């Protein structure tokens, strides 16, 4: 049974419909990630759930209760924003406890909840500091702690790592995953970063132009994308999608297919003159643990190959490429998946 359910949710601003009839069920305790390019409607959908925007049509139900018309404060949700939104004149402890103090909760209960949240987030030594005395990562943890002490039914995260540098993003991502495991909380997390989606989610919801393209586990979306958009959005580097005529003779095909897709790790480097197709090196990205080799085919397609080994290849070198034919994806002219080989 779904814990949070969206039924026919729509949102229109003037003449522009930004959310187009979204139906979605989220189970209790599930970590769900909304992912998609900028402008796809993921943050708007989150704000509709939070009650920060009103629905144009449809309904939202939480734990068997219709919350569609309830104000945000009565929905039993807690939201963590991209901006930390901390009160600069309040200590960490006061920021975290503000909502409970506003609700006139018992002082002993407040202290217990703040201390517990501080322990989970490693904020104990900083409870008496002001936000300006903290790093960006610590401020974000305070914002998360403020949500934890409220013990909501659902945590809502709106791109919470966007303001952090690369190292802190990775560290905080691990902390959020650990937090979810410890609390067992139902969580909805919005990001444009598909790496965050792949590493955090139980369920990924891929959005485009205000509509859901596909819902599934991270690896389901990676292995069995519903269309070309999902195939090329999920995965870094993205799936190679080329005209079916790029395939080697004897690769077979699917009736109605216009394009064929193959992941970079399913292409294998061979010496020039060998392999199923020939190509010329355009760029080599040596990343240490892996190497990305960008190639041009004789027919003009650009593809990328990923391998764990390092290489002495340079731009302009001729190479051969073997294609793992048992990992092909076939798409029609409109980008819909017709068939996958595995």
Answer whether residue 163 shows pLDDT above 80. no
The arithmetic mean of pLDDT across residues 211-224, rounded, is 96
Instruction: Beginning with the edge strand found earlier in the chain, give each strand of the sheet holding 291-296 in spatial order.
Output: 267-270, 318-323, 277-286, 291-296, 302-307
- Model confidence at 1, pLDDT cuts 50, 70, 90, reads low
pLDDT exceeds 80 at position 109: yes
CA angle 247, 218, 159 (to 5 degrees): 115
Reported as half-sphere exposure (CB side, CA atoms, 13 A), residue 4 has a value of 24
Q: Which residues contact 59 (CB under 8 A, 6 or more apart)?
A: 6, 7, 8, 9, 66, 68
Q: List the one residue out of 152, 176, 158, 182 whose CA is nearest residue 74.
A: 152
Lowest mean pLDDT among 216-220, 250-254, 296-300, 321-325: 250-254
* CATH, domain range 4-232: 3.40.50.300
Q: Which CATH architecture has domain 238-340?
A: Beta Barrel (2.40)
Selected residue with higher pLDDT from 321 and 140:
321
Residue 342 has pLDDT above 70, yes or no: no
For 177-202, what is each residue's pLDDT tens digit? Answer: 888 888 888 999 999 888 899 999 99
Q: Residue 278, Cβ neighbours under 10 Å: how many?
A: 16
Averaged pLDDT for residues 299-328: 95
Per-domain residue ranges of the chain: 4-232, 238-340
Indicate the pTM of the whole model.
Answer: 0.90
How big is the CA angle at 231 (ends 242 and 193), to the nearest 5 degrees?
125
For residue range 5-25, what is the model confidence (pLDDT) as tens digits?
A: 999 999 999 999 999 999 999
**pLDDT in the model for residue 225:** 96
Tell me the mean pLDDT in the region 46-75.
Answer: 96
3-class SS of residue 114: helix
Whether 49 and 6 have beta carbons less than 8 Å apart is answered as yes
Q: Which residue has the higher pLDDT, 164 or 265?
A: 265
Q: Which pLDDT score, from 0 to 100, does residue 200 have?
A: 93
Distance CA 238, CA 292 (A): 12
pLDDT grade for 249, boundaries at 50, 70 and 90: low
Longest dimension (CA), the chain: 77
Domains 4-232 and 238-340 share a fold: no
Q: Is the pLDDT of residue 276 over 70?
A: yes
* Segment 115-151, tens digit of pLDDT: 988 988 889 999 999 999 998 888 888 998 888 888 8
d(CA 233, CA 38): 12
Give yes or no for residue 88 having a pLDDT over 90: yes
């Amino acid at each position: 049974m779904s814990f949070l359910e969206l039924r026919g949710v729509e949102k229109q601003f003037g003449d522009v419909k930004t959310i187009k009839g979204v139906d979605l069920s989220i189970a209790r305790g599930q970590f769900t990630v909304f992912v998609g390019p900028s402008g796809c409607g993921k943050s708007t959908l989150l704000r509709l759930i939070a009650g920060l925007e009103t629905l144009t049509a449809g309904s939202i139900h939480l734990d068997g209760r219709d919350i569609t018309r309830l104000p945000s404060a009565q929905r039993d949700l807690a939201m963590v924003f991209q901006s930390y939104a901390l009160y600069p004149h309040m200590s960490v402890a006061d920021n975290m406890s503000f909502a409970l103090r506003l609700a006139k909760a018992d002082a002993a209960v407040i202290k217990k909840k703040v201390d517990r949240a501080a322990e989970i987030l490693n904020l104990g030594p900083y409870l008496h500091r002001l936000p300006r005395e903290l790093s960006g990562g610590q401020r974000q943890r305070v914002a998360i702690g403020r949500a934890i002490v409220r013990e909501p039914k659902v945590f809502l995260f709106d791109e919470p790592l966007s303001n952090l540098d690369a190292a802190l993003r990775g560290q905080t991502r691990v902390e959020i995953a650990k937090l979810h495991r410890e609390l067992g909380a139902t969580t909805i997390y919005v990001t444009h970063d598909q790496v965050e989606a792949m590493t955090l989610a139980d369920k990924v919801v891929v959005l485009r132009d205000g509509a859901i393209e596909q819902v599934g586990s991270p690896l389901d979306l990676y292995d069995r994308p519903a269309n070309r958009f999902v195939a090329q959005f999920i995965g870094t580097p993205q799936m190679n999608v080329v005209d079916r005529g790029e395939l080697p003779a004897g690769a077979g095909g699917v009736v109605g297919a216009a394009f064929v897709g193959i992941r970079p790790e399913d292409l294998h480097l061979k010496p020039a003159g060998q392999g199923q197709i020939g190509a010329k090196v355009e760029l080599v990205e040596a990343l240490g643990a892996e190497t990305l080799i960008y190639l041009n085919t004789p027919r003009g397609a650009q593809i990328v190959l990923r391998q764990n080994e390092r290489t002495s290849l340079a731009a302009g070198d001729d190479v051969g490429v073997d294609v793992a034919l048992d990992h092909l994806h076939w798409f029609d002219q409109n980008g819909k998946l017709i068939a996958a080989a595995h």
